[in-house]
Homo-oligomer: A and B are copies of this chain.
Amino acid sequence: MNEPQQTKPDYERELRRAGIRITRPRRVILDILSEADSHPDAMEIFQRASVIDKSISLSTVYRTMKLLEGMGAIHRHAFEGGPARFEQASGEHHDHLIDLDTGDVIEFHSNRIEELQDEIARELGYEIVHHRLELYGRRKGGRKKK
């Protein structure tokens, strides 16, 4: 028992295998991403990285995000309004519900919806490469301010 959960995949190994160098900035950013519970944007990642290594630049954050995205190590989301937000790709596929009042991002998954999407695409003669399902809503009932 006690196998490692799907958290914190060994990116370093994966990067090396792809002939990509493991640099200090990348290590720092990778760490931040594995810790991250939420869906941070580039600026947030940059700020957290700065705490660890003052010299890391925002450009490098962006470059690293693009690199990781290309490798399929992270997913990039473009929620309404704001800047792009990222998350590790390690877990299972899921979609998002965004709380319009707080900005909270809640993850969910529906096999039924995924199936229906495939079915719809198939009927239209298409094969889905990827999709994006975002629900924007507010807490029902309670006026729970925070």
User: Which residues does A use to contact B, with CB under 8 Å?
Assistant: 78, 80, 97, 99-100, 106, 108, 110, 112-113, 116-117, 120-122, 124-142
Contact = CB atoms under 8 A, between A and B. Distances in A.
A100 B113 contact: no
Nearest to A108: B120
Kindly list the 3 A-B residue pairs having the minimum CB-CB distance in the complex, ordered from nearest: A126-B137, A128-B137, A127-B140
Given A110-B120, A116-B112, A116-B113, A135 B126 contact: yes
Contact of A139 (B126, B132, B133, B141): B126
Nearest to A140: B127
Contacts of A80: 78, 132
